[in-house]
Chain A
Amino acid sequence: MLIINKKILFSFLFILTLLINGCGYMLAPKYDQPIYTFKRPYVSVRQTYGEIHIITPVQLVNASPDYFDLQVIKTSDNSPIISGIQYMVGEPIEVYLPQNSLSLEVNGNTLILTPIGRNYSPIVFKFAGIRYGEIVLPHTVINKRPAIVSGLVSKRFDGEPLAHFPVAIIDSLGNKFSEYTNMYGEYEIKMPNEYFYYNNLKIVSGEGSPFHVSQNNIDFKGSFSTVSDILVGPSKQFMEEGNFYIVQNDLTHYRKEPFNGSETQFLLSMNELVAVSRVAGNRLLGQVEVFYETHKSVNITGWVNAKDVIWIGDINLYLSGYGDEIQ
């Protein structure tokens, strides 16, 4: 019994020794606090500035300055924040400034918008700034007196007014202001104030109509409103020539002689009338009426190619029908 007990005891002690040696950290103490290095962790810092967006809505009525000039200053000492920015007409007038560049005081900042052109005054806005964000200034309307051209469009040969007739004013840059006559043949074209000072305006009438397009100069004669009556079509005397052909295309040669290569006297425009007196093969001999003043004209004889014109028959019927459906 004692031997058996000793065997059990030694086995138990042996197993216990193995356990203690194998799991030695079970009874090991734990250090009471974490131990840190002096190593700095990775830290990334980014500071982002905003911006200030100033919007200046401007509406032009009968005005067309060359461009706008903008500057922003501090009201207290007139020190510039930004200056010399230019905007074309039609371009949105907006400016971007760095954050904190404006004064936060009431009326601490002044925006001066100057239209560049004849007889324009600067537009001044006083406002409080913000650190960043959007500022929309009050809507401004620049209203100027328009330059007006008005008149009556009528047929030359009988004086009847022409309703719904196209009339346009064109400047040297090709800018165009178009209108149609009313049921009484009257028209009125309003243009920006600046056009009063232009001396190269032309009034063009008849584009897209069965009439030959006519063109005259405009002279305001010192007044913002001027009258320019327009006569279209042939004179009564020319109507008596008869046998009319109408030119089909612009830049049609009107020659001195019937043969190819003969001298071109001038070029005819679309819808010009040729009173033909003789047909020779594919060439036509006739006359065109050329006005050198409103009521003064000459008839010039020449030759056209038959393919460039078309016979219109009864000219009265051809011309008198225009505008009737409008009335």
Chain B
Amino acid sequence: MRITLIISIISHLLFSQVLLDINSIPSGSTVRLNGASIGETPILAFKVTPGNYTLHISSGEYAPVTHELFVQDVKRVKIKFVLNPLYKVKFRSKDQGLTFELNDEHSWVDNRIKLILESGKHTLRVYENGHLFDEQIIQVNRNMEFVYSRQKPQQNEILIEENNID
């Protein structure tokens, strides 16, 4: 009786398979499931058993994504990602001796620097001699150049210039 029950449980787990479809924009993104590569999107009918999974999606000029997925005991799971693109941003400061920091994490002192930024809003903090004296929100939605100047803008003058570069 106990053996029958064990066999039944094992059979249930073995045959309790769920079909997983993974799609992304852009297609051709590399997919890793619990660290193991399973191919590129679109992935159709990949068999998994119900449970928790970590999905990692990456594609050259897009920000990678890590997603925790709980697969229920269902017939099919369809998951779709829309990745955020990365843009080339040239940053230039008109002033000397400043320290710049993006998103509380990335900092530099160079007056000119080339950055790769994910599309969206970034928080820029400006320090002089270790003291914070300016904070700005930078909206990135294309390849561009940011020019920073510490002087307060006069009428009809902007503090941060945004220039298109392609």
Contacts and interface: CB of A to CB of B under 8 A. Distances in A.
Contact of A41 (B72, B81, B92): B81
Contact of A49 (B12, B74, B90, B103): B74
A104 B116 CA distance: 54
Contacts of A36: 63, 103, 118
Interface residues of A, number: 30
A46 B77 contact: yes
B8 to A, nearest CB: 5
Contacts of A30: 113-115
A44 B69 CA distance: 11
A250 to B, nearest CB: 62
Nearest to B104: A38
A318 interface: no
Contacts of A43: 65, 67, 79-82
A96 B31 CA distance: 36
B121 A37 contact: yes
B126 interface: no
Nearest to B61: A34
B4 A106 contact: yes
B48 to A, nearest CB: 12
Interface in A21-61: 24-25, 28-31, 33-39, 41-50
Contact of B118 (A34, A45, A49): A34
Nearest to A36: B118
The dominant DSSP class at the B interface is strand
Contacts of A100: 73
Contact of B114 (A31, A42, A45, A131): A31
Nearest to B5: A105
Contacts of B120: 37, 39
B84 A48 contact: no
B12 A104 contact: yes
B144 to A, nearest CB: 13
A99 interface: yes
B74 A48 contact: yes
Contacts of B118: 34-37, 39
A101 to B, nearest CB: 12
Given A25-B114, A48-B74, A100-B73, A38 B103 contact: yes
Contacts of A24: 92, 112
Interface in B44-92: 63, 65, 67, 69, 71-84, 86, 90, 92
Contacts of A104: 8, 11-12
A100 B15 CA distance: 13
B125 interface: no
A252 B63 CA distance: 94
A30 B79 CA distance: 35
24 contacts: A24-B112, A25-B112, A25-B114, A28-B110, A29-B110, A31-B106, A31-B114, A33-B116, A35-B105, A37-B103, A39-B118, A39-B121, A41-B81, A41-B84, A42-B82, A43-B81, A43-B82, A45-B78, A47-B71, A48-B76, A104-B8, A131-B15, A131-B75, A132-B75
Interface of A: 24-25, 28-31, 33-39, 41-50, 99-100, 104-106, 131-132
Query: Lowest 10 A-B CB distances belong to which pairs?
Result: A50-B75, A28-B112, A37-B120, A42-B82, A34-B116, A30-B114, A44-B80, A39-B120, A48-B76, A47-B74
